């Protein structure tokens, strides 16, 4: 039986930290779905379509990765698609506090055997966040080394 996992986020933009988690998770599962979310609390720089295009281009060399978009509760999406796991990346202890709350809530909402799996970010990416990258780029700072090339091109076009 095929094992499939979901790695969800806004990916606004996708960073090298995200890509590191995607590459590592893809080795652990037969299929890895990168779920690009609509988050009404955030004001994204990129449209859902732009983010989807960006992520598809960046992960095109990873055969078992599929890109999906969704709106609403992650647990509802995971239940509907019957994912075996939901992957979450952790950068620091502050991430853990937020992520453990989400994982515990999702555990109550999951109807199947879905597990939340935490992957520690490679230390060289531990300070990277999409929000920080957008802020630095908006002030004409160099974020080239923090993003996949295509994401960097799209970010430069925005500013």
* Catalytic residue numbers, as ranges: 18, 42, 91, 130
CA distances from 30 to 4, 50, 131, 151 (A): 6, 26, 31, 26
Per DSSP, 122 falls in state: P
Phi, psi of 97 (to 5 degrees): -60, -45
SS3 string, 39-80, reads CCCCCCCCCHHHHHHHHHHHCCCCCCEEEEEEECCHHHHHHH
């Amino acid at each position: 039986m095929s094992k499939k996992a979901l790695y969800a986020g806004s990916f606004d933009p996708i960073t090298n930290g995200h890509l590191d988690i995607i590459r590592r998770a893809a080795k652990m599962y037969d299929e890895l779905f990168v779920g690009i979310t609509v988050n009404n609390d955030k004001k994204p720089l990129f449209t859902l379509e732009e983010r989807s295009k960006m992520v598809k281009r960046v992960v095109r060399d990873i055969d078992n990765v599929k890109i999906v978009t969704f709106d609403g509760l992650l647990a509802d999406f995971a239940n509907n698609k019957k994912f075996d796991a939901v992957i979450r990346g952790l950068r620091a202890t502050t991430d853990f506090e937020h992520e453990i709350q989400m994982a515990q809530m999702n555990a109550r909402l999951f109807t199947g055997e879905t597990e939340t799996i935490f992957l520690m970010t490679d230390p060289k990416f531990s300070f990277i966040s999409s929000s920080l990258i957008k802020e630095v780029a908006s002030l004409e700072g160099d974020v080239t080394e923090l993003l996949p090339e295509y994401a960097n091109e799209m970010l430069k076009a925005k500013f």
